[in-house]
Structure 1
Amino acid sequence: MKKSTRFLYLLTVWTLFGFPPFFIDSRADDGQTPPAVTPAITYRLTMPEPQTHYFEVEMTLSGAATATGARKNGYYDIRMPVWTPGSYLIREYAKNVEGFTAMTGGQAVRSEKIRKNTWRVYTSADNLTIHYRVYANELTVRTSFVDIDHGYVTPAGMFMYHDALKAQPLRVTVEPYKEWKAVTTALKPVAGQANTFEAPNFDLLVDSPIEIGNQRTFGFTAAKVPHTVAMYGLTSYDEKRLAADYTRVCETAASVVGEHPCENYTFIVHHIPPGGGGLEHLNSTTLEVTRSAYDTEASYKRFLSLVAHEYFHLWNVKRIRPIALGPFDYENENYTHLLWLSEGCTSFYQEYILRRAGFYTPDAYLSLVAYQINQIENQPGTRVQSAAESSWDAWIKGYRPNENSDNSTISYYSKGSVLGTLLNLAILSGSNGARNMDDLMRYLYQEYYKKQQRGFTDEEFRRAAEQIAGRSLDAFFNVGVNSAEPIDYNAYFNAVGLQLVNGAGKNGDGFLGASTAVTNGRTVVREVRRGSGAYEDGLNVGDEIVAIDQVRVGDDLNRLLAGRPVGDTLNVLVNRAGLLRRINVTLGANPLVSYRLEPVSNPTDAQKSLYRKWLYIN
């Protein structure tokens, strides 16, 4: 999600010329001007008592006083990131740090914490060694974890940095717990030094998670690039089939842009009871799936969909990116209106890739598209928050949902996925089938990532999309992206001979508008839908519905509501915070839609041709 010019330069130099990762100008000090110094930063990561959930970190800065200003100021400011790229929430990683100490020349030096994530070390010495411990007991793709079975490191929450040294090369040595044999990471190994890795800058370190333990690994080659898969957790799978399907997904994803940017790629896969999704990195990803992910065709395709999503981030986000998403500010929110593109259109591509790779039939893909439209159209928040606003507010709303979120927000993932489908259709129809969304991705990759070596602005993205489409996209951007107005879906689907039809029946049954959950025989309101009778008449989240029209509900609310007509008024007895009260609620019409895609009558040859191109039907 970040791409620094210095990283590209250093990586190229190291690869082509084999320069060492650290270099210090050894010219003699003339007593007037300090010699030019490139400081060496090294980290040593240990976990001597994994059952306590602690990692221990030793950070060493060599020849750093001049570069950091410590020689002049008399101190170093050492910081811990507050978030990790790809997960747009301030996570306050410093809350897990304890035991911060600093030494130079074998002697302890004074340090103090001056803000929530910053420690000031009072010394002007060139060489500084810092020790601290990190509590790690949350196994997600965006946090660190260690127990007696394995360790997982999200580097943003493990390794500290100095602002002036973020662009300098560094090394990490991992010392696994005595019973563990494997370390898996996309970081470049240092020849001849066990479990030691290097990176050209702090950004790449943050972008390289580390799995430590006894994980099983296997490999495959896709798009001429070697791939490694590290599997943690008890599960059963057919390695041959899995490797073959990984290959199909990865090669289809690579065909979108037509160029693979990596020398190698690493999948870290955790098999844990709740699953949990994935997080993309520059040349790796971490996936969390259930232990039964490979057991059925349905769950297996969901797994492959996750693989396709995180893998396509190699291009969309990590290299094709809004200008705000790199280089990163690790202390503050990094705002953009384009997460609907970065994440949502990646969600679009995850299913489009599986269709193109042959995992979905055309009909199955159409069902998925209709499902995604139903998903956003049945959420009241789609008429409140635009995709652009959803992207901007990710930091305060996207990762912090509450009982009113469905009423007031829309996910930039789900709305963005639908917008990706519509933009693809707009480009197809605007170019008479000559181009599609792939051409836009290729243009952005070549123009901004490779040529200008930066991200793009909102306006630059819009100009690029219209250039590739060969037409104005006012309706797409003004309505679909930047407003919460209803979208005219059939204006897009007509080009491929399809129409969106609402199959929801109107049977006259009344709609309450309260989502409930049953706990120990008690029916409790969990959400109240905006505009419904429950919303307008005052049912609240947290209310226990005790009785309706004098009849006790228990766990059988649906039976009591069955057959009640629109306009019927219910006398609802609720327990609210220990007090009983009666509320009259009038049932409304059911607002939920059930869209499906159907062929138009008598499609033209042009519509049939675009349909085949859209769905890659030979």
Structure 2
Amino acid sequence: MKTIKCLAILFIAVCTTYAQENLHYTINLNDQTDDTFKVLLSVNSLSQEDSIYQFASTAPGTYQIEDIGRFVKNFEVFDKNGKQLSTLKKSVNQYRISEPSKVSTISYEVSDTWDTPVKVNPVYKMAGSSLETDHALINAHCMIGFPITRQAEAVSMELIYPENWVVGTALNKNDNGYFVANSFDHLIDSPILLGNLTQESVIIGNTKIEVYTYSKTGLIKSEMLLNDLKDLLIAAEKFLKGYPVDRYTFLFHFEDETVGAWEHSYSSEYVYQESEYTEAFSNSIVSVVAHEFFHIVTPLNIHSEIIEQFNFTNPTPSVHLWLYEGVTEWASGIMQLRGNILTLEELLAEYRQKLIYNDYFDPNYSLQDLALTSFTPKGAQQYSNIYMKGAIIAALLDIRLLELSKGKQGLRELILQLSAKYGKDKAFSEENFFEEIVQMTHPEIKEFIDKYIVEADPLPIQEYFDKIGITYVKNKKVKKESGKEETIKHYFEVNNDATKKQKKLRELWQSNN
């Protein structure tokens, strides 16, 4: 505690002098005492309305309760003379400051979420924080809180770390060498991996792609990953007709456990167990990257007001989870097909697996239900079906749009039109978005949305795939060589006897043109 007080006094002048933004954070990674991040916030001024200091209850894209306040200790506030001001812990994620107008610095410690056991709601590792002697993972919401009215305010952040460490992030620096973000949301949207990392970069189209990698024993290098990602990145650039960002950063962490990945607007991070870098391992990474990378469109360029300024106090679900995750998962497959990374048979095999997994979930749970209950225990049990049922429904919507427009407008074209209309700085209406989609497409799409997104009607898989000359049978009975009969669930097969009309629509379905 004495160390924190001394740090507060020491940095009062330094941070106030050099911070151009009103909120300037300093995180000391050199002091790893108690496996905690030492955080200091210097402010130029706070109003009486800023008596509440808020830590994140959740974060965009996690769809889980995180309650970061559980990991905070030694929360202290000082005036410009170093005198401590009184505070009160109001709730798990909020501290009340008695005299906010006098505040000059706020200091506290935050435990590493990876190594701090909790009884309920453990934080996903890819959305958490880790502090080790040779590296650190910073997801800012795990350590950075904010005065309650200042969420939209620009911030700067200084990291103190070993000189030989490499830093990977999509954040930019100001003239003082501090990382800057135009809001708390922007800071949270920009994870940082630093330590003994390898790094590589390449230009694709007009975009700089960066890869930073931590590998526990140095087994996996950024060069290896980038080489295997290039075809996918080129396919994505063609699918999107150019990236909507001029720089994108991949952060890879290979250590003791495979957990998953977390998307961001200008970057994504991946937590995998370090192992021999086989072709199968590489393919699994490419498959996950295909999904996460597409989030540069949804929700970066297509999002509702709920996503634009996230509610870090009370988890607020968006009904359009089907778009953010279901459509993204669909896009990860179809753009690989159109980029000649996946064969048609391989994509159909993926659809089959998704339908097999879908069978384990509640068939009466619609995508809208799934979205609105995503933060509840019941919704959490159904949540992963957004990547199964959500992707299949997006595939059906794509076929339906192509059919109605005679091949001129599929789901990809609709996404590009929406991206051009909105972009990262303009949100669509959470309430009216379905109606807008209908206006931009065809009246028949309202029935599709009502039946398969809002409600949970049985999916017309056989009917729709037949439109593109692909046979689907829910339970296909076949005879084995032994003469015994077996049932193949969710059987797909390309129909070689398809009509010219079916073949033409299939050709358009497989094409980026």
Q: Bin the TM-score by the shorter chain.
A: 0.7 to 0.9
Residue identity opposite 2:244 in structure 1:
P
Shift of 1:126: 5.2
Shift of 1:250: 2.5
Unmatched tracts of structure 1, length 5 or more: 1-20, 24-38, 508-589
In the alignment, is residue 370 of structure 1 matched against residue 375 of structure 2?
A: no
Give the match's secondary structure for 1:329: coil
Aligned to 2:375: 395
Distance in structure 2 (CA, Å) of the matches to 1:154 and 1:85: 12
Distance in structure 1 (CA, Å) of the matches to 2:88 and 2:420: 47
- 5 Å matches for 1:545-560? none
In the alignment, is residue 283 of structure 1 matched against residue 266 of structure 2?
A: yes
Please state which structure has a larger fraction of its residues in helix: 2
Residue identity opposite 2:48 in structure 1:
G
State which of 129, 142, 159 in structure 2 corresponds to 1:174. Answer: 159
Change in 2 beyond 3 A, CA 1:427/1:294 = farther
Shift of 1:81: 1.3
Distance in structure 1 (CA, Å) of the matches to 2:452 and 2:211: 38
Shift of 1:127: 4.8
State which of 408, 416, 421 in structure 1 corresponds to 2:395. Answer: 421
Aligned to 2:466: 494
Distance in structure 1 (CA, Å) of the matches to 2:321 and 2:337: 23
Aligned to 1:386: 366
Say if 2:157 and 2:180, in contact at 8 Å, map to a contact too. yes
Aligned to 2:243: 260
Residue identity opposite 2:322 in structure 1:
W
Distance in structure 1 (CA, Å) of the matches to 2:488 and 2:436: 34
TM-score, scaled to structure 1: 0.72
**C-alpha deviations, 1:58-108, integer Å up to 9, x for none?**
01111x13xx236xxxx7321111111111122100000000111112211
Greater mean deviation of Cα atoms: 419-428 or 220-229: 220-229
List 4+ stretches of structure 1 deviating above 6 A: none
Residue identity opposite 1:613 in structure 2:
L
In the alignment, is residue 412 of structure 1 matched against residue 386 of structure 2?
A: yes
State which of 57, 77, 82 in structure 2 corresponds to 1:102. Answer: 77
Task: Give the number of equivalent residue pairs.
Answer: 480
Shift of 1:322: 3.2
Aligned to 1:333: 315
Greater mean deviation of Cα atoms: 302-311 or 142-151: 142-151
Residue identity opposite 1:201 in structure 2:
S
Say if 1:390 and 1:410, in contact at 8 Å, map to a contact too. no
Aligned to 1:90: 65
Aligned to 2:230: 247
Distance in structure 2 (CA, Å) of the matches to 1:410 and 1:228: 29
Aligned to 1:353: 335
- 5 Å matches for 1:176-195? 176=161, 178=162, 180-191=164-175, 193=177
Distance in structure 1 (CA, Å) of the matches to 2:384 and 2:168: 37
Say if 2:135 and 2:196, in contact at 8 Å, map to a contact too. yes
- 5 Å matches for 1:122-161? 122-125=98-101, 127-138=103-114, 140-161=125-146
Say if 1:171 and 1:197, in contact at 8 Å, map to a contact too. yes
State which of 35, 53, 70 in structure 1 corresponds to 2:35. Answer: 53
Aligned to 2:12: none
Distance in structure 1 (CA, Å) of the matches to 2:493 and 2:273: 35
Say if 1:220 and 1:227, in contact at 8 Å, map to a contact too. yes
- 5 Å matches for 1:581-596? 594-596=489-491
Aligned to 1:612: 507
**C-alpha deviations, 1:15-47, integer Å up to 9, x for none?**
xxxxxx966xxxxxxxxxxxxxxx611111013
Change in 2 beyond 3 A, CA 1:602/1:282 = closer
Distance in structure 1 (CA, Å) of the matches to 2:139 and 2:494: 48
Residue identity opposite 1:595 in structure 2:
H
Distance in structure 2 (CA, Å) of the matches to 1:617 and 1:192: 45
**C-alpha deviations, 1:515-549, integer Å up to 9, x for none?**
xxxxxxxxxxxxxxxxxxxxxxxxxxxxxxxxxxx
Distance in structure 2 (CA, Å) of the matches to 1:149 and 1:595: 48
Distance in structure 2 (CA, Å) of the matches to 1:366 and 1:458: 34
Say if 1:141 and 1:277, in contact at 8 Å, map to a contact too. yes
Aligned to 1:78: 53
Change in 2 beyond 3 A, CA 1:80/1:149 = same
Give the match's secondary structure for 1:164: coil
Say if 1:235 and 1:292, in contact at 8 Å, map to a contact too. no
Residue identity opposite 1:486 in structure 2:
P
Shift of 1:498: 1.4
Say if 1:388 and 1:482, in contact at 8 Å, map to a contact too. yes
Aligned to 1:480: 452
Shift of 1:357: 2.2
Shift of 1:465: 4.9
Aligned to 1:446: 420
Shift of 1:483: 2.3
Give the match's secondary structure for 1:607: helix
Distance in structure 2 (CA, Å) of the matches to 1:123 and 1:463: 47
Change in 2 beyond 3 A, CA 1:184/1:301 = same
Residue identity opposite 1:292 in structure 2:
S
Distance in structure 1 (CA, Å) of the matches to 2:228 and 2:214: 19
Shift of 1:445: 1.0
Shift of 1:283: 0.9
Shift of 1:53: 1.8
Shift of 1:270: 0.9
Greater mean deviation of Cα atoms: 47-56 or 101-110: 47-56
Shift of 1:148: 2.3
Change in 2 beyond 3 A, CA 1:380/1:123 = closer
Residue identity opposite 2:360 in structure 1:
Q
**C-alpha deviations, 1:227-251, integer Å up to 9, x for none?**
2111012354575563244233223
Distance in structure 2 (CA, Å) of the matches to 1:50 and 1:180: 17
Give the match's secondary structure for 1:205: helix
Aligned to 1:467: 440
Aligned to 2:87: 111
The alignment yields a C-alpha RMSD, in angstroms, of 2.7
Residue identity opposite 1:301 in structure 2:
N
Change in 2 beyond 3 A, CA 1:301/1:354 = farther
Shift of 1:506: 9.1
Give the match's secondary structure for 1:83: coil
Distance in structure 2 (CA, Å) of the matches to 1:399 and 1:213: 37
Say if 2:55 and 2:68, in contact at 8 Å, map to a contact too. yes
**C-alpha deviations, 1:371-410, integer Å up to 9, x for none?**
222321x22512x211110111111147743xxx6xxx77
Shift of 1:271: 1.2
Give the match's secondary structure for 1:394: coil
TM-score, scaled to structure 2: 0.86
Give the match's secondary structure for 2:307: coil
Change in 2 beyond 3 A, CA 1:180/1:121 = farther
Q: Which has the larger radius of gyration?
A: 1
Change in 2 beyond 3 A, CA 1:87/1:239 = closer
Give the match's secondary structure for 2:52: strand
Give the match's secondary structure for 2:42: strand
Change in 2 beyond 3 A, CA 1:289/1:320 = same
Unmatched tracts of structure 2, length 5 or more: 1-17, 115-123, 480-485
Distance in structure 2 (CA, Å) of the matches to 1:228 and 1:461: 36
Distance in structure 2 (CA, Å) of the matches to 1:416 and 1:386: 9
Residue identity opposite 1:108 in structure 2:
Q
Say if 2:337 and 2:344, in contact at 8 Å, map to a contact too. yes
